[in-house]
Amino acid sequence: MPSWLQMAWERGILTTRYPREGARAEEVPVTGRPPVPVSALDHLTEAPARCPTGAITLEAVDQGKCVRCARCLGVGFTLSGPVESSEGRRADLVWAGGLPGAQTNDGLLAELGRSVHVFMVDVGSCMACNLEVLALSNPYYDSQRLGIFFTNSPRHADVLVVVGVPTDEMVEPVRRAYEAMPAPKAVIAVGACPISGGVFAGTGGLKPSLEAVIPVDRFVPGCPPPPIAILHAILATMGRSRTPPGGR
């Protein structure tokens, strides 16, 4: 038996079993999980002052602004929220205490069957979100086993994945990419940057969010979000998302 075949036999299957099974702890770094308040928000007076992006107030936690810096750990928060943290409405990323509500927009592309093509546009990122998205096509995440393929043309794409804060220069290119896609189509904003500006919010030459440029169907919070959170968002547009045990 050739040695490479023997090695593969001995190693077994290394590809993640997500979404058939839940994400394992080692698949999601601690800072890939959303911060969850451990008690009532109005008792957590120190956390809002520590949060660099204004994600924490005494009334709510805005996951769309959170950059997972972990400064709120030890002052009333723990990074232990669900990896399936993407939402179909921007407003649902704002948790008024406790865990988020029901997911929305599931199955937007269900009529396409069990296969979609994804086109990614970087409108002004630090490159970290790009790498997490591209990791989906490596042998570990192996998105092709789930019918998720990357394409280099928006004309062949069903899903537009956008990373980064829209710079003034990228407004027209991303708009043209969106308009070139055939219907039905879905737009996924990956990371705090396209959702709220993230750490760059308020900087000159940037739009406040992707929603200010094109319609967005799914929001994946994080800085960057782990690949499994991005995978969950794509599966949600296909109507194949995994709901964690106990619901959300």
What b/e sequence results for 36-48 when a residue is b if at least 16 CB atoms lie within 10 Å of its CB, and e otherwise? bbeeebeebeebb
Q: Which two tokens stand for residue 171?
A: 């407004």
> Which residues lie near ligand SF4 (CB under 6 A)?
35, 50-53, 55-56, 66-72, 77, 125-126, 128-129, 163-164, 191-193, 198-199, 223-224
Residue number of the CB atom closest to ligand SF4: 191
Distance, in Å, from the CA atom of 114 to the CA atom of 50, rounded to the nearest integer, reads 44
The single residue listed with the structure tokens 């940037």 is 206
Helix (H) or strand (E) holding 222: none
Smaller CB separation from ligand SF4, 93 or 235: 93
Kindly tell me which of 67 and 177 has the beta carbon lying closer to ligand SF4. 67
Nearer to ligand SF4, 23 or 55 (CB): 55
State the residue for tokens 């929603």.
Answer: 211
Q: For ligand SF4, give the closer residue by CB, 109 or 233.
A: 233
User: Cβ 234 to ligand SF4, closest distance in Å?
Assistant: 17
Tokens of 3: 């040695």
Toward ligand SF4, which CB reaches closer, 56 or 238? Answer: 56
Q: Find out whether 62 and 35 touch, Cβ atoms under 8 Å.
A: no
CA angle 93, 96, 101 (to 5 degrees): 55
> What minimum distance in Å lies between the beta carbon of 23 and ligand SF4?
19
Q: Which of 214, 230, 233 is CA-nearest to residue 170?
A: 214
Q: Where are any strands of DSSP class E within the chain?
A: 35-37, 61-62, 77-79, 94-95, 116-122, 148-150, 159-163, 186-190, 218-220
Pick 141 or 200: Cβ nearer ligand SF4: 200
